[in-house]
A and B are shown apart, each in its own frame.
Chain A
Amino acid sequence: DAGVIQSPRHEVTEMGQEVTLRCKPISGHNSLFWYRQTMMRGLELLIYFNNNVPIDDSGMPEDRFSAKMPNASFSTLKIQPSEPRDSAVYFCASSWWLAGGRETQYFGPGTRLLVL
């Protein structure tokens, strides 16, 4: 298995531009998670999906952020318009969720975003 695939790996953009991050989860997994990592705040969950349905988006910072999962093999995280404070590493993770929390989450390599 190729693991969780994220693209792009690095993104440099200017303030005000739209940024789209992409994620392909591990085949067969039914849950997908978007995290953000910064030095100040560490790793934070932004949103997660079960069976392509958003379950909890309480971590999404503001309306500039949106996430979609049109099918079981693809998800996007969009920032529009981007701001310098959005600079961070964004991770996608997937898992096969069973009641009782027996399954771990598998993380992608991350997208390093720099907004100038």
Chain B
Amino acid sequence: KQEVTQIPAALSVPEGENLVLNCSFTDSAIYNLQWFRQDPGKGLTSLLLIQSSQREQTSGRLNASLDKSSGRSTLYIAASQPGDSATYLCAVIIQGAQKLVFGQGTRLTINP
């Protein structure tokens, strides 16, 4: 059974810092890995999607990497801003299915 773990559960940093969020998964047979953002009381917004054949994806200040063999992904946020405060969720789609299996998320707070 695929399990996704995110560390840390919560993170608080001052504005302007670069930071890394971690995600690990137990089964490397995945179609893709996605990072989502969730604001309080809102739905999920897809940030980055990495295909299983890819190593990384970039969007603006965000960079996500994927190491399938070790079952790990990181989300790098450069020059953090208070508007980046949200919960960040990592999810994988396992091969042969369309199911997204989510981690528990990292609650990020950027202090002005």
Contact of B31 among A35, A100, A107 (CB under 8 A): A100
Scan B45-70; emit 1 where CB is below 8 A from any A CB, else 0: 11001011000000000000000000
Contact flag A102-B43 (CB < 8 Å), given A31-B98, A45-B100: no
Cβ of A38 to closest chain B Cβ, rounded Å? 11
**Would you call B42 and A109 a contact (CB within 8 A)?**
yes
The 4 tightest CB contacts between A and B, nearest first, are A101-B31, A43-B102, A107-B44, A107-B43
- Bound together, the chains give a CA A50 to CA B99 distance in angstroms of 12
- Bound together, the chains give a CA A42 to CA B102 distance in angstroms of 8
Q: What is the interface size of chain B, counting residues whose CB is below 8 A from a CB of the partner?
A: 26
Give A112's nearest chain B residue, CB to CB.
B41
Interface residues of A (CB under 8 A from B): 4, 31, 33, 35, 42-45, 48, 50, 55-56, 91, 93, 95, 97, 100-102, 104-110, 112
- Bound together, the chains give a CA A102 to CA B91 distance in angstroms of 14
Cβ of B79 to closest chain A Cβ, rounded Å? 25
**Would you call B98 and A97 a contact (CB within 8 A)?**
yes
Cβ of B29 to closest chain A Cβ, rounded Å? 11
**Would you call B51 and A42 a contact (CB within 8 A)?**
no
- Bound together, the chains give a CA A97 to CA B28 distance in angstroms of 21
- Bound together, the chains give a CA A114 to CA B51 distance in angstroms of 37
Asked whether B32 is an interface residue with its Cβ less than 8 Å from the other chain, the reply is yes
Most chain-A CB neighbours within 10 Å: which of B36, B98, B102?
Answer: B98
Enumerate 24 A-B pairs (CB-CB under 8 Å) in ascending A order: A31-B98, A33-B98, A35-B100, A42-B102, A42-B104, A43-B91, A44-B102, A48-B99, A56-B99, A91-B44, A100-B31, A101-B30, A101-B32, A101-B52, A102-B32, A102-B51, A104-B34, A104-B46, A105-B100, A107-B45, A108-B43, A109-B42, A110-B42, A112-B41
B71-103 contacts to A (CB < 8 Å) = 89, 91, 93, 97-103
